[in-house]
Amino acid sequence: MPDRPRVLITAAFDNGIAEALHEEFELTVLEPANLRRSLAETGADDALAEAEAVVCETELLDATALAAAPNLRLAVSCRAAPVNIDLDGCTARGIPVATTPARNADVTADLTFTLLLATLRNTSRAEAWLRNGSWSAEDVFEPYREFRGLALNGRTLGILGGGAVGRRVLTRARAFGMHVLVYDPYLDKDTFGDQARVVGLEELLGAADVITVHTPLLESTIGLIGAEQLTLMRPGGHLINAGRAAVVEEQALLDALRTGHLAGAGLDVFWEEPLPAEHPLFGMPNVTMTPHIGGASDDVIAVHSRMAAEALRAWRRGGVPAAVANPAVYDPA
């Protein structure tokens, strides 16, 4: 391997970390286009052809890009899972694919709690009402009646998925004085000690005042929360989803909100994105919505840049990056 391997970076990347990498690597850093397109279409044909490592986030290292990168020896996806990379194609060529797990766990947990608070305290509706000029001296106490919400202290939060985001939501919930239940079939009952109980799904649904969704999107979790599960929730409960939309059945959630069985929901993810303008959610005042901004933070860029840099350095030294999606490339047997 040359003293300074050639690296193509198309992901959003921290400038200071990139400067430090220049000492060990020959970098080509492109301004991120944030488009889901093949790396072969970025206009950096020469850099791709010479690249021994690629760091990408939204652009695709697909079959076309792999064919255009004959010297490639490492791929780094600035994602928790390498959904933008042809994993089979890389494995067939013996190219390790490093990832950046939990890069946005903290900011996603923050947004989860933003949605939770905004939904239970009606803050988004109250702000829109205020900005619309609705507060008048004729009834100065109208907002006190219209936007009366719930306190978190003493209430029970049910967390679906006890991974990186779920654990951070747990910490935030405890700081607000909430009791916490966690459903995760892969965790032991005493995983969280006295901070939270790990319970079955039915127990969580029946006991929680608010449920947040943080399970990975697997065949077993698609539609995990459907009409039957929503019926088991406490009347007047709330559901918050800044994780994966498909974990919750869309029609079942809409029905539970229309009937009032659920008092409200906070959503950052949707079954179709962008959300169609005619979608019924827009007509539901008991729903708080944000346009899939869970990971939208400069801090996430700094975190995944650091993790990508660590992966590059480990690879350059002949080691194995901390998180590799296709570890079989290191053990062909």
**Domain coordinates of the chain in residue numbers?**
6-103+298-330, 105-289
What's the pLDDT score for residue 333? 55
What's the pLDDT score for residue 35? 81
23 has catalytic annotation: no
* Topology alike, domains 6-103+298-330 and 105-289: yes
* Closest among 221, 181, 170 to 203, alpha carbons compared: 181
Contacts within 8 Å (CB) and 24+ apart, 69-78 = 69/39, 71/6, 73/1, 73/5, 73/315, 74/98, 74/311, 74/312, 74/315, 74/321, 76/100, 76/308, 76/311, 76/312, 76/321, 77/325, 78/11, 78/12, 78/103, 78/304, 78/305, 78/307, 78/308
Query: 155: phi > 0 → left, psi -120 to 50 → alpha, else beta; which?
Result: beta
179 has catalytic annotation: no
Low-confidence ranges of the chain (pLDDT < 50): 1
Q: Which of 179, 292, 306, 313 is catalytic?
A: 292
What's the pLDDT score for residue 212? 98
What's the pLDDT score for residue 46? 94
What's the pLDDT score for residue 30? 93
Is the pTM for the entire model greater than 0.85?
yes
Q: Which CATH number fits domain 105-289: 3.40.190.290, 3.40.50.720, 1.10.1660.10, 3.30.420.40?
A: 3.40.50.720
CATH class of the domain comprising 6-103+298-330: alpha beta
121: burial class by Cβ within 10 Å (0-12, 13-18, 19+)? middle
Q: Which of 168, 244, 304, 316 is catalytic?
A: 244
What's the pLDDT score for residue 193? 97
Distances (CA, A) of 249 to 182, 202, 252, 253: 20, 17, 5, 6
What's the pLDDT score for residue 122? 97
292 has catalytic annotation: yes
Q: Which of 19, 127, 202, 273 is catalytic?
A: 273
